[in-house]
Copies of this chain bind each other. A is one copy, B any other.
């Protein structure tokens, strides 16, 4: 049987399975992922997977961790080449957090199908903890107390994931096998405009604003709002005194 995929019968690792699962998920979507296909992808029979893995669930957990494999966080704040304690140094927490949020979004966005399945699963592996540690470090040195830093981290994480989840769904459920993205938004807008102007005056009037703006600007809007909302919580420099 010449079905050796990688090295001839070198043995399959759990990482192989996770990678294969991720690959299939991304290529064929949620229903394209079956044990048999994962097995075929790594060059074995379906039942053989159960030697490495107890469940399909466990396989998904593995994939969930592998999702973060190639996500390279910016180095935590403590390794910042600039001044470690400089008052100006703690003010750039905004761009730092923003950059992390944007990277998180694009990371999930380029793995839409996988993210859709894996979001809300959250077996936080070491790679995810790295992100968390980095973010919290940034926030604390920026002047947030521990509790606020933890809550803000959670807030950012949940928002980005919720955002991507929406963003990655075809705007109209019926358009999944349909038109180009620009056509889809135009169509969505038209649908909104054709609603009852009596019952939905604002929705109709703002149809262009609701269906119109591209997701990038929408994301930036939300991000700016979050950062603005967090800002007043910072203890500027030492316990009291302002700047």
| Additional A-B contacts beyond A129-B200, A136-B203, A227-B229 (12; CB < 8 A) | A120-B166, A120-B169, A129-B203, A146-B206, A149-B209, A150-B210, A151-B213, A152-B225, A158-B162, A162-B163, A165-B165, A229-B229
Q: Closest CB-CB distance, A242 to chain B, in whole Å?
A: 13
Instruction: State whether A169 and B122 are in contact (beta carbons under 8 Å apart), knowing that A151-B213, A151-B221, A155-B222 are contacts in the complex.
Output: yes
Report the 4 A-B pairs with minimum CB-CB distance, sorted nearest first. Answer: A162-B162, A229-B229, A225-B229, A150-B209
A121, A132, A151 pick with most chain B CB within 10 angstroms: A151
Question: Chain A interface secondary structure, helix, strand, loop or mixed?
Answer: helix
Q: How many copies does the complex hold?
A: 2
Q: Closest CB-CB distance, A66 to chain B, in whole Å?
A: 14
Assess the A206–B136 pair: CB atoms within 8 A: yes
Assess the B199–A133 pair: CB atoms within 8 A: yes
Taking CB atoms, residues of chain B closer than 8 Å to A159 are: 155, 158-159, 162-163, 222
Contacting residue for A121 out of B150, B173, B200, B228, CB 8 A: B173
**Pairs across A and B, CB under 8 Å, 29 listed:** A120-B166, A120-B169, A121-B169, A121-B173, A122-B166, A122-B169, A132-B203, A133-B200, A136-B202, A137-B202, A147-B206, A147-B209, A149-B206, A149-B209, A150-B213, A151-B222, A154-B166, A154-B210, A154-B218, A155-B159, A155-B218, A158-B165, A161-B165, A162-B162, A224-B229, A225-B226, A228-B228, A228-B229, A228-B232
